């Protein structure tokens, strides 16, 4: 479905060049749930931006990002626009970033349906209700403003928005940030359920290895713009090979022991 081949991304500023991604190769299979795990500065967000064609000007990029055989890096702006929302969609870090404060939830979703799917009027309103119900929200949520929702409700609404055009690949960038542990588990359970019910492929971007291990069938650990290690959660937890992965596992068990007293 998605094949990243020898991808290198460098940011150019006035006085220096910063290498954000260094020659990574990665394949995402249809229907998979992949956890992209790494600390801040590991290259996760840069990779997500590259997938969506949202890298800033003056960025140097080499390699290939093949989505269903077509190279995203060589698409025109109009081709990339057609890809976003309909094929690849993003749940951004911090649900508030998905919404404009002065617009009701229904207007946010209707706008996406209008622009990208050509759905208007009563058909759009019916679709809004269906999308909200798909993520476990009452239809009445559509009449609320973002600030009137709890953190968990807002995150669910952000996921509904990202699913408005029935994408094949969902990019979830730290979707549980600032949520309590119970709501985190609920959001992960929701994503896992949507993956199955909608035949979605999901890339979960997170710094939290234990969280990713709960729902993902494959983990990719990033460090300094490179893939340190990848494998199933069982493989990485039971037999980590890279020093950075070992550090993450040690931290995971330390936190677990601390929690258990």
Which pLDDT tens digit goes with each residue over 99-133? 999 999 999 999 999 999 999 999 999 999 999 99
Per domain, the residue ranges of the chain are: 88-166
Distance from C-alpha of 155 to C-alpha of 143, rounded to nearest angstrom? 16
Tell me the average pLDDT across 135-158: 95
Residue-wise pLDDT tens digits, 70-101: 999 999 999 999 899 999 999 988 777 789 99
Distance from C-alpha of 65 to C-alpha of 73, rounded to nearest angstrom? 6
Whole-structure pTM value = 0.92
Tell me the average pLDDT across 163-190: 93
Percentage with pLDDT > 90 across the chain: 76
Percentage with pLDDT > 70 across the chain: 96
Please give the distance of CA 62 from its chain centroid, rounded to a whole number: 23
């Amino acid at each position: 479905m998605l094949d990243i081949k020898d991808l290198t991304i460098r940011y150019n500023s006035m006085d220096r060049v910063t290498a954000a991604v260094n020659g990574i190769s990665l394949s995402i299979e249809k229907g998979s749930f992949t956890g992209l795990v790494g600390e801040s500065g590991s290259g996760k967000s840069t990779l997500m931006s590259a997938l969506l064609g949202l890298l800033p000007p003056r960025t140097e990029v080499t390699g290939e990002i093949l989505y269903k055989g077509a190279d995203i890096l060589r698409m025109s702006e109009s081709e990339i626009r057609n890809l976003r929302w309909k094929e690849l969609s993003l749940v951004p870090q911090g649900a508030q970033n998905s919404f404009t404060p002065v617009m009701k939830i229904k207007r946010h979703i209707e706008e996406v349906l209008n622009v990208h799917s050509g759905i208007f009027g009563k058909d759009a309103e019916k679709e809004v209700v269906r999308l909200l119900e798909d993520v476990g929200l009452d239809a009445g949520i559509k009449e609320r403003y973002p600030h009137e929702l709890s953190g968990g409700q807002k995150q669910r609404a952000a996921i509904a928005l990202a699913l408005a055009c029935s994408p094949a690949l969902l990019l979830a960038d730290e979707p549980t940030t600032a949520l309590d542990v119970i709501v985190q588990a609920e959001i992960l359970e929701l994503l896992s359920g949507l993956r199955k019910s909608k035949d979605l492929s999901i890339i979960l971007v997170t710094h939290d290895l234990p969280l990713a291990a709960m729902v993902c069938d494959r983990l990719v650990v990033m460090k300094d713009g490179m893939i340190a290690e990848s494998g199933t959660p069982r493989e990485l937890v039971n037999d980590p090979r890279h020093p950075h992965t070992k550090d993450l596992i040690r931290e995971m068990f330390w936190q677990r022991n601390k929690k258990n007293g």
